């Protein structure tokens, strides 16, 4: 689903509804549906840690920048740059949670950086610098997603429905602020466009709950590898639906990023095995 979400976003843009407005409608739909779960835990609201507020804000930035990046940039470049997130997670986990940064982790980080340089280098620029808004937003989305993951670890004791609701309302808040800041006009579109944007909100709800449900019930290393399937889906869909083709250099750079993300998952598996053996 996440490997295909960019396509309806482009259809909405073509129909006259900007991606920020679509994001607001989709996540507002999901947020309203989550209200009963939020209300069920009203007796624990005063116990919630302040980090949940940060999770809400970072999740809002992550989702909005990711969806906008998929409109502004090439689908596979954005996807691959977004999947630098496992590397950022290593660095943030080391700084914030005090997790040890092994020599292998450093090597994988350098491998991912090499892939990024290959992807971002452009003959006209001469330097490996993002060449457009889509590249920048893809990098920012990946970084924020890593912060989101670390915050989720810190908030393990918070009930899942509360975290899900926080994510939805966080996106609603950030999208609203962007609409006000950019003075984006109210979309004048047909009723069917509004209907499909609400329907996509139900899909977003399904996607988010499915991911969080799966992550809570399998080892992190396994889920990290499975989520990488999103890249395969995105590549095939971009080729089939819009004829988007990446250059050989970009494929090599993307392969390095993919290898680094897979390597991070392997390190996590070994660390999990070591913790089990020590118990």
pLDDT per residue over 3-56, tens digit each?
A: 888 899 999 999 999 999 999 999 999 999 989 888 887 777 777 777 788 888
Q: Please give the residue range of the domain that contains residue 236.
A: 6-278
138 domain residue, yes or no? yes
Which range in 6-10, 193-197, 225-229 is most confidently predicted, on average pLDDT? 193-197
C-alpha–C-alpha distance, residues 268 and 99, integer Å = 12
Residue 125 lies in a domain: yes
Q: Rounded to whole angstroms, how far apart are CA atoms 25 and 19?
A: 10
Angle at 114 (CA atoms; ends 109, 117), nearest 5 degrees: 125
pLDDT of residue 260: 80
Instruction: List, in sequence order, every residue forming a beta bridge with 121; answer none if it has no partner.
Output: 128
Identify which of 4-18, 99-113, 150-164, 220-234 has the greatest average pLDDT. 4-18
- Alpha carbons within 13 angstroms on the beta-carbon side of residue 102 total 10
Check whether 64 has a pLDDT greater than 80. yes
Q: Is residue 185 part of a domain?
A: yes
Q: What are 105-153's pLDDT values in tens digits?
A: 778 777 877 887 777 676 665 555 677 888 889 888 888 887 887 777 7
Closest CA to 19 of 143, 231, 182, 232: 182
For residue 14, is it within any domain?
yes
- Say which residue the tokens 């919630």 belong to: 48
Domain count, the chain: 1
Residue 1: inside a domain? no
Q: How many helices (H) and strands (E) does the chain have?
A: 13, 0
State the residue for tokens 């913790």: 275
Q: For residues 258 and 225, give the distance between their C-alpha atoms in angstroms, rounded to a whole number.
A: 10
The helix (run of H) or strand (run of E) holding residue 206 is helix 191-215
Structure-token pair, residue 231: 């890249």
Query: How far is 166 from 208, CA to CA, in rounded Å?
Result: 12
Q: pLDDT category, 248, cuts 50, 70, 90?
A: confident
54 domain residue, yes or no? yes
> What token pair was written down for 190?
């047909």
Q: Residue-wise over 253-275: b if at least 16 C-beta within 10 A, else e?
A: bbebbbebbbbbbebbbebeeee
With beta carbons less than 8 A apart as the criterion, state whether 138 and 81 touch. Answer: yes
């Amino acid at each position: 689903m996440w490997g295909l979400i960019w396509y309806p976003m482009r259809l909405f843009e073509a129909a006259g509804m900007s991606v920020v407005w679509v994001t607001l409608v989709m996540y507002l739909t999901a947020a309203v549906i989550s209200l009963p779960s939020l209300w069920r835990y009203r007796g624990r609201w005063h116990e919630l840690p302040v980090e949940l507020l940060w999770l809400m804000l970072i999740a809002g930035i992550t989702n909005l920048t990711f969806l906008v990046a998929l409109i502004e940039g090439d689908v596979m470049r954005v996807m691959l740059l977004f999947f630098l997130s496992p590397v950022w997670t290593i660095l943030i986990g080391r700084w914030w949670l005090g997790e040890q940064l092994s020599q292998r982790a450093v090597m994988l980080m350098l491998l991912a950086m090499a892939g990024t340089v290959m992807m971002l280098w452009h003959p006209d620029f001469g330097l490996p610098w993002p060449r457009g808004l889509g590249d920048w937003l893809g990098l920012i989305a990946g970084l924020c997603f890593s912060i989101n993951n670390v915050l989720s670890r810190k908030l393990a004791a918070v009930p899942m429905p509360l975290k899900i609701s926080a994510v939805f309302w966080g996106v609603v808040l950030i999208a609203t602020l962007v609409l006000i800041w950019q003075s984006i006009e109210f979309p004048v579109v047909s009723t069917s466009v509004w209907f499909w944007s609400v329907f996509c909100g139900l899909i977003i709800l399904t996607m988010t709950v499915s991911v969080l449900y799966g992550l809570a019930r399998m080892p992190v290393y396994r889920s990290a590898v499975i989520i990488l399937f999103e890249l395969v889906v995105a590549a095939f869909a971009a080729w089939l639906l819009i004829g988007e083709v990446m250059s050989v250099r970009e494929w090599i750079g993307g392969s390095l990023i993919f290898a680094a993300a897979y390597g991070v998952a392997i390190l996590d598996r070994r660390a999990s095995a070591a913790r089990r053996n020590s118990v």
